[in-house]
Structure 1
Amino acid sequence: MTIKLIALDVDGTLLNDHHELTELTQETLIRASRQGAEIVLCSGRGPANTIPFMEQMGLDGYVITHNGAVTAQVQTREVVHHFAMDGQGLEPFITYCRTQGVHFDINTAFGLYVDQPEGLELQVREMYQNFMAEPLKLPQWADMTEPLAKFTAFGPIEQMNAVQQEWSTWNLPYYMTRSGDFFIDLMHPEASKGAALKRLAEAKGILPSEIMAVGNYYNDITMLTFAGKGVAMDNSPEEVKAAADEVTLSNNDQGVAHAIQKYVLSV
């Protein structure tokens, strides 16, 4: 069956390890779009630092962001769906991070908030620069009027392993996912890339069998298993590869272009 929608993770999938969208990958996506396939970027990033890649390719449509918590229209930047999380339940996680020295940020659809943006450590500042994110100062809860999309803890892999092990013993009111070696995300319990992709596909009348999803990490598994063709990058953990139907080349070997050429443009 013809692929009508291509859902693509961004970091570690669409981009290489230098956070670059290569010319070959870009040209391949444009060709697939001209052939009739809709391109939907599905990222742990927010809309503000996901939409620019669509604009760079001259593509309109939708992006699924914050690991599925926020779906936004590219041209208008309108939020068309939001799995808003309960901010009051975050207090124990904020306290844990502050007492254990774990960096965290709180995300609305288009805002990213931290305790002290002017005093960020170099590693943290470089991380935000790589993701094209500009952190703002976290206000008091009473002043936070926007719906919340995601809570993220960031740190060395050993620290994140310990945080994940600890939080896994809690009675979590949220969906917790590992979106990278250095990131743990908390979201609305129903939020995921797969759930958001399902909602978007149903709204557009597209069947799962008409969707190809490509990703490289644990937060991509729900969309890889929802899509009729789930493709894992070669740089994925083994559990992600096992959840996919196919494995393509790594992000540094332009695996997205290779997968689209094989499963979309060659049929």
Structure 2
Amino acid sequence: MYKAVFIDMDGTLLEDYCTISKASQKIIKYLLDLGIYVIPVSARPLHGMMPVLKPVIDESMPMVSLNGSYLYYKNEIINDVRISISNTIKVYQAIKNDNVTPIFYNQMEWYSDRNNEIVQKEQRITPVQIVIKDFEALLDHWEKSNHSPNKIVVVGDENTIKEVQAKLRILFEDQLNIYTSDMRYLEIMDLQASKKTGVEILVQKLGLKPEEIIALGDHFNDKDMLQFAGMGIAMGNAPDDIKAIANYITDTNKNDGFAKALKYFFY
């Protein structure tokens, strides 16, 4: 019997307009009534997760945000992994002349050195206002407050993101986790931060075993989480490389693939 379900949000639980279908709401309530943990695992910051999840999952449930670099459970931060200031500077220097938008996430705060359409799109999913600072001022702020980002997101067109990903992986091999959560979004974290790491921490804390959990996801930042779970489920809209490592493939997020998969395993 599976005791916990770890769920990616965008492209998995959520439909294209950041909504949760009635079928998905129904299956989540059914699992919670059975006493099964339903745990969101997202690239989003915590403040970008909670408003969307509020109709179906309350704050008593663990939440894995920022690709596993920031975990929150019962009003307690149980994991907080940062990118070093030195690596943050190196990443910025490597991409500053590319046609991309960098966004920096630090716990419940987020920053960019520009205010454009990309930033405004991200602003629409969170009530927390972004802080716009030039990069030098941002570094000064972090150094004075002894902070650094949990995650850097680089946003651009698909071809540019491919080029930036290839460049950064050469520069930061064995230093940073670098992968896409969407073909236009490149996620950068410390090596100790990943969705798998976040899930592992909670599995241990909740007294579970990998074979007792299901994980659902749709992109490359979900890959290690799907491989870790006893049952890794890829969405029908996932890239072929993600489908290839999954134990089970469901329908797309546009066609209630999330609800269909869980009905198959729990009804």
Fold match by TM threshold 0.5: yes
Q: TM-score, normalised to structure 2's length? A: 0.91
Structure 2 counterpart of 1:95: 93
Structure 2 counterpart of 1:40: 39
Structure 1 counterpart of 2:191: 189
Structure 1 counterpart of 2:63: 63
Structure 2 counterpart of 1:152: 153
Give 3-state SS (helix, strand or coil) of 2:43's partner: coil
Provide the C-alpha distance between the structure 1 equivalents of 2:202 and 2:209, rounded to a whole number of angstroms. 11
Displacement of 1:185 after TM fit? 1.3
Q: Give the residue type in structure 1 aligned to 2:131.
A: L
Structure 1 counterpart of 2:243: 241
Matches within 5 A, 1:2-151: 2-59=1-58, 60-73=60-73, 76=75, 78-116=76-114, 120-130=115-125, 134-138=129-133, 139-144=137-142, 145=145, 146-151=147-152
Give 3-state SS (helix, strand or coil) of 1:230's partner: strand
Give 3-state SS (helix, strand or coil) of 1:240's partner: helix
Q: Check 1:148–1:101 CA distance in 2 against 1; reply closer, same or farther (3 A cut).
A: same
Displacement of 1:125 after TM fit? 1.8
Displacement of 1:133 after TM fit? 6.1
Whether the 8 Å contact between 2:13 and 2:20 is mirrored in structure 1 is yes
Unaligned runs of 5+ residues in structure 2 are none
How many residues of Structure 1 are paired with residues of Structure 2 in the alignment? 259
Q: Check 1:52–1:124 CA distance in 2 against 1; reply closer, same or farther (3 A cut).
A: closer
Give 3-state SS (helix, strand or coil) of 1:202's partner: helix
Displacement of 1:81 after TM fit? 1.1
Whether the 8 Å contact between 1:45 and 1:131 is mirrored in structure 2 is no
Runs of 4+ in 1 over 6 A off after TM superposition: none
Structure 1 counterpart of 2:214: 212
Q: Give the residue type in structure 1 aligned to 2:27.
A: T
Q: TM-score, normalised to structure 1's length? A: 0.91
Provide the C-alpha distance between the structure 2 equivalents of 1:228 and 1:63, rounded to a whole number of angstroms. 20
Provide the C-alpha distance between the structure 2 equivalents of 1:91 and 1:7, rounded to a whole number of angstroms. 33
Give 3-state SS (helix, strand or coil) of 2:10's partner: helix
Displacement of 1:134 after TM fit? 3.4
Provide the C-alpha distance between the structure 2 equivalents of 1:130 and 1:174, rounded to a whole number of angstroms. 26
Provide the C-alpha distance between the structure 2 equivalents of 1:112 and 1:216, rounded to a whole number of angstroms. 25
Unaligned runs of 5+ residues in structure 1 are none
Displacement of 1:250 after TM fit? 0.4
Q: Give the residue type in structure 2 aligned to 1:135.
A: I
Displacement of 1:89 after TM fit? 1.3
Displacement of 1:131 after TM fit? 6.2
Residue 165 (structure 1) aligned with residue 166 (structure 2): yes
Provide the C-alpha distance between the structure 2 equivalents of 1:19 and 1:43, rounded to a whole number of angstroms. 13
Displacement of 1:95 after TM fit? 1.9
How much identity, in percent, do the aligned residues show?
22
Larger displacement relative to structure 2 (140-149 or 31-40): 140-149
Give 3-state SS (helix, strand or coil) of 1:175's partner: strand
Residues 54-82 of structure 1 show CA distances to partners (whole Å, capped at 9, x for unaligned) of 32214331111111111112x63x32111
The Cα RMSD (Å) is 1.7
Provide the C-alpha distance between the structure 2 equivalents of 1:18 and 1:225, rounded to a whole number of angstroms. 28
Residues 137-181 of structure 1 show CA distances to partners (whole Å, capped at 9, x for unaligned) of 244323212352101100111110111122222144211121111
Q: Give the residue type in structure 1 aligned to 2:124.
A: Q
Provide the C-alpha distance between the structure 1 equivalents of 2:204 and 2:129, rounded to a whole number of angstroms. 33
